[in-house]
Amino acid sequence: MLNFTSATIFSPEPAALPLAVQPKELLTRQQVLARNHVRIVGHGKPPLLLCNGFGYNQRVWQSLVTALAQDHQVILFDHVGTGGSDVAAYDADKYAHLAGYAQDMLDICRVLELEHAVLLGHSVGAMIALLAASQTPAYFAKVVLLTPSPCYLNDPGYYGGYERADIEQLLALLQTDSQGWTSLFANLLLGPLATSDLAEELYKCLSSTASSMTQQFARVTFLSDHRADVPGLSLPTLVVQCQEDFIAPAEVGGYLLAHLPNAHLVNLPTAGHCPQLSASLATLAALRPFLQAA
């Protein structure tokens, strides 16, 4: 068991919500783009939509954007409650489930009128991407899941990497000692590559962990189980994992490969959970053949 500071334990995760979380009324293009702080790099090329993981702002992709924009119109955004998003748009009921974040992504696709886009999701953003692409595949041509995990909890016959008590203590630490939690989380994300420069860059990519919105997002991230949704993604899919990842172990990549209908797995010869930061060249090398394939 991981050694976290003990504190008040979160209550059990909420019951599963149907995938579609429809807004009461459709938001306009301007409202959606402002809500999620959407930024577009380049025009007139096939769209590539980047979906952040838990707590990150879109800066997490900056090492890849210039290279990706050579062949794609790169679309970046922030989840509500993170980065430059409109925090006034936060709805605790909606974002108590990953489906709420997936609906935001589909709103972005709708107002930008995307067709045949490539969807690249990182960490829990990969699961958000999977939910969105499964619900409305017409927007997308293919999907990349970067260091994904459909379930972080161990279960008989499944290794997610964590026991329930580990996760509860991690979440409790976030609630009572956000600074200590950020330091611990950064070490988990970077693993043995946690140099001071890389850690400093990662901190710039993370939203305030003291925020109640971030705390709820953490709870939803680490207590969700979306294994049942994995087979619903039928689009061509690339799963990219790192050889040594304390957040999403190698066994998870094997599970996804076995349960995704149309997937290919690439193992990066590096450590950590954020290879777009720590190993950007290796990450680009893994992405390019899949992105350039017809």
Q: Which residues are catalytic?
A: 123, 245, 273
Please check whether residue 8 is in contact with residue 174, taking contact to mean a CB–CB distance below 8 angstroms.
Answer: no
All residues at 6 or more sequence positions from 155 whose CB lies less than 8 Å from its CB, including other chains: none
Per DSSP, which regions of 114-189 are E strands? 117-122, 140-146
- CA–CA dist 239, 219 (Å, integer): 24
Relative to beta strand 237-244, strand 263-271 is: parallel
Nearest to 62 by CA among 274, 268, 265: 274
Relative to beta strand 73-76, strand 39-41 is: antiparallel
Q: Residue 33: helix, strand or coil by DSSP?
A: helix
All residues at 6 or more sequence positions from 98 whose CB lies less than 8 Å from its CB, including other chains: 124, 127, 128, 131, 220, 221, 224, 226
- CA–CA dist 183, 79 (Å, integer): 22
Both tokens of residue 234? 């039928």
Per DSSP, which regions of the chain are E strands? 39-41, 47-51, 73-76, 117-122, 140-146, 237-244, 263-271
Q: Residue 31: helix, strand or coil by DSSP?
A: helix
| Sheet order of strands, 47-51 included | 39-41, 73-76, 47-51, 117-122, 140-146, 237-244, 263-271
In the DSSP assignment, the letter for residue 209 is: T
Both tokens of residue 251? 């066994």
